[in-house]
Amino acid sequence: MKAALNARYSSTEQPTAYADITGYNNFYEFGTGKDDPRRNAHTLRPRPWSVTISGEVEVPGTLTLEDILAPHALEERVYRMRCVERWSMVIPWVGFPLADFIKRFRPTSKAKYVAFRTLHDPKQMPGQRAGWLEWPYVEGLRIDEAMHPLTLLAVGLYGRLLPNQNGAPLRLVVPWKYGFKGIKSIVAIHFTERRPPTSWNVAAASEYGFYANVNPAVDHPRWSQASERRIGASLFDATRPTLPFNGYAADVASLYSGMDLRRWF
């Protein structure tokens, strides 16, 4: 995939190895083990693909993946990514700003939130036959979060098409939030005046908040979030302190000015 590096938003840290990025995943639609997605996601058919846009927009409709990609110049961004389970990676994503995509549909003044939905097809996604979450997987952002220039719609990594286990063919990347906000295999985007439900918040509200901003001062009820383990790092560099907003505070902290980030976690 041809994509120019966006140095403005790219980390200078060494990217995590491709084998680790594609072999250690959370994608419950294919199982709960970290290697389950790599082993099981071959059943997903990412082509052909379409995404439906609805809600508080002037131009709703359904677009094929080709329609989605056509007007956008792809870029590579090397983002630090942090999982709520205390592990982290540095991933060279390929994609385009979500804001550029949103502008095509002209949201109305009532569009306060953006909701996302994953494909629901238990034949393709065998994990959906189990009841560990309510299916389909859903996520959401405030409209200002969705329009922030760091927020990315990713279609690839390491210059290649997204592997199935990483959310092919289209996934959300919000690098200052915990990884569960990065919804995969998106088939619907809905603009709404009210805050939408999100899968992990519905499943365990005391453990997974709507905002999910990386905050080392707010522990998960079952473990501390003060440190993280970099996947693939040497034993001498595997654990490091967690940075507020995953190190992107200078870019995004103003979005939450005046909010109690212990309450709105």
What is the mean predicted confidence (pLDDT) over 115-143? Answer: 98
pLDDT given at position 238: 77
pLDDT given at position 253: 98
pLDDT given at position 237: 74
What is the mean predicted confidence (pLDDT) over 163-188? Answer: 98
What is the mean predicted confidence (pLDDT) over 71-81? Answer: 98
Q: What is the mean pLDDT of the chain?
A: 97
* pLDDT tens digits for range 208-250: 999 999 999 999 999 999 999 999 987 767 799 999 999 999 9
What is the mean predicted confidence (pLDDT) over 103-111? Answer: 98
pLDDT given at position 175: 99
CATH of 4-251, one of 1.20.120.530, 3.40.50.300, 3.90.420.10, 1.25.40.10: 3.90.420.10
pLDDT given at position 233: 84
Measure Cα distances from 193 to 199, 213, 234 in Å.
19, 21, 46
pLDDT band for 4, please (50, 70, 90 cuts).
Answer: very high
What is the mean predicted confidence (pLDDT) over 126-151? Answer: 98
What is the mean predicted confidence (pLDDT) over 47-69? Answer: 98
What is the mean predicted confidence (pLDDT) over 184-193? Answer: 98
What is the mean predicted confidence (pLDDT) over 70-87? Answer: 97
